[in-house]
Structure 1
Amino acid sequence: MSTTTPPPSPPLPPSLRHPPSRPPPSFPAREDCWTEEATHTLISSWGAQFLELNRGNLRQKHWQEVADKVNALHAHTKKQYRTDIQCKNRIDTLKKRFKIEKSQIIQSNGQYVSTWVFFDGLDRLIGDGFIKNGVSVSPPEEVAATPPGRAAPVTRSLLEVVRDGHVWKLPPPSAVPVGPRSKRPVTEGALSRRNFSAMAAAAARADEDEEEEDEGSDMLGEGIGRGGRKENRESLVVEEGYRRLAEAIGRFAEVYERVEESKQRQLIELEKQRMQFTKELEIQRMKLFMESQVHIEKFKRIKPNSSDDE
């Protein structure tokens, strides 16, 4: 009984054997004249904030702290000064390049080794999330050839045919004998196009996942099922708390208004008493003045009479 050895697997194309010196033209990079040292500082500062937030999204204040650290070490001139927006755009560009490199490694089953200087640092930070988000591209599965003389198995019992807007269900076709498939050599161009398409789809899918995470962190979605009911209960509790707080503020305002009115009445009463006291005091002063004048006149009249008698 003779055994046939399977043909050797085709060698890797040069596109996977040697890393590209720069990203493909379909993925434009926003370099902004970043130096390698400044980029390393940016990754280190961003990675510290990223891990501190439990691998969550950075807010504007976090990006500003990252930009401050980069500028403190590398902003020797005005052109080298970086804003928080420029740092965020640079990290986004590095993530896209990392996804391409990671996809090539997964596509080649570990035979491709990335020589990109920033790959190891980014792999320690977002390498696990790259696989968890479903960005990895699984290698194509080999289809076993059907032995000659046997019918190819039919996996569907009914075939649906759409025509003129209607769905027609037809019975499956009869089994047809299928001979052994001939293995055609895969050309380098076809493999490169297939790998590039897979990497492009993976990068696009990863960007969509990140956008959904950013939107989900800033917007509250509608509750669905049990989670929706729980959110509704929490919102009702929050609304009840706000209502009680508003009632307490209203009662406090009423008490404050009554106190102010009482103070105003007391001030008016005190002002009336002060005016009455001033009036009485003025009357007393006038009386004393008049009495003194009368006494003076009497004294003047008495004095001449006494002189005449002498």
Structure 2
Amino acid sequence: MAAGNHSIMTEFILAGLTDKPELQLPLFLFFLGTYVVTVVGNLGVITLIGLSSYLHTPMYYFLSSLSFIDLCCSTVITPKMLMNFVTEKNIISYPECMTQLYFFIVFAVAECHMLAVMAYDRYVAICNPLLYNVTMSYQVCSWLVVEVYMIALIGATAHTGCMLRVVFCKAKIINHYFCDILPLLELSCSSTYINEVVVLCFTVFNVLTPTLAILGSYVSIIASILRISSIEGRSKAFSTCSSHILAVTVFYGSVAFMYLQPSNVSSMDQSKLSSLFYTTIVPMLNPLIYSLRNKDVKVVVNKIIKKRQFCISKDL
């Protein structure tokens, strides 16, 4: 299309989850509650791990990093989504849209690889316990986290850079509740071939590669657990992995459903539902999954409560 036949897009309208008026208030209250739980839960995990020397281990270092990623990912998406339920038109400017897209990709990709790093940590702890302190030293853990963010920044820069070259001249309504790659490409009137290739390549690398790494880790972990003679030892080993397996299943399942299906198979309404899992539900569930099913966290929380009760009774 010639440059003179279209105007430059300066803003978009986010369609949101639904256009039914009777659902606006219930959905607003539900997702507001979800966001509050997400913020409190993830900040609580980060604070608890930071203040307790008992939890200064590689596993909890990675868990606090995951909580930070979940907190940021939810904050990038949810506040703007909530505006859909209280405003007639949820307008987002072009720069704001590209900024939201960039940071969403950063934290989504970071979560993919952080979950893989956590699986590797469990693999070393169970399969090579005698070498754990050497293999997962502070320097190694720090470099793993740095590498996760480097991969995330490279992916976000590539996707956003490709999106900046797209010409938008169709309807400016984004059929989604945030600026995501696929809904934006639907509005393009220029070629999106490069974007689609980049999406496919990076999705394979950021979703399938960590998934295979996690599966490989857990095959080795399960094989090692089955060789443990005592039932108590097996139960303890399984309990340290079950939370991570549950979090991985929910996150990677919803991401794969969104980005690895052919475009003619799933409707955008189905994609919205899938997106809700990894943008709002998973960030809320992760602190609950890792805290409620974790004995070490429960021990620290009980110590803090008892110490608090002792201080109150002493003051009285």
Normalised TM-score (structure 2): 0.24
Larger Rg, first or second structure (1 or 2): 1
Larger fraction in helix: 2
Higher relative contact order, chain-length normalized (CA < 8 Å, sep 6+): 2
